[in-house]
Amino acid sequence: MSEYAAEVRACALGQAAASVVGANIIGCTPEQVRAARDALREILKSDGPTPPAPFDGLEVLRPAREYKNRHASILLTLEAAVEAMEEAAAQTSCA
């Protein structure tokens, strides 16, 4: 990813996730962002391993595993980034 912007309106946990993502996403491939999303989901779901660098800062959200009602907010930034990267790739391949 070469450009990134986000307007975050989420709970503190969602804002924390967005901050880590925003600080690290530039220069990442779609595969790296997908891997971060999947690893964060596994942390929240089953105390999975820390996301790979450069998203290993998402480790701070491990205690949020107990707040299931906040999982969607925590994952939102990465979900949106993956979707945006997939849409951009599809537009590029059609051009």
pLDDT, tens only, 18-37: 999 999 999 999 999 999 99
* Res. 64: pLDDT tops 60: yes
More confident residue, 6 or 87: 87
Q: How many structural domains compose the chain? A: 1
Q: In this structure, is residue 40 part of a structural domain?
A: yes
Two tokens, residue 68: 């299931």
Question: Rounded to an integer, what distance in angstroms lies between the CA atom of residue 62 and that of residue 47?
Answer: 7
On whether residue 7 sits in a domain, the answer given is: no
* Residues near 90 by beta carbon (within 8 Å), at least 6 away in sequence: none
pTM for the whole structure: 0.89
The yes-or-no verdict on residue 1 having pLDDT over 70 is no
User: Phi/psi of residue 12, each to 5°?
Assistant: -60, -35
Full domain range(s) for residue 41: 12-94
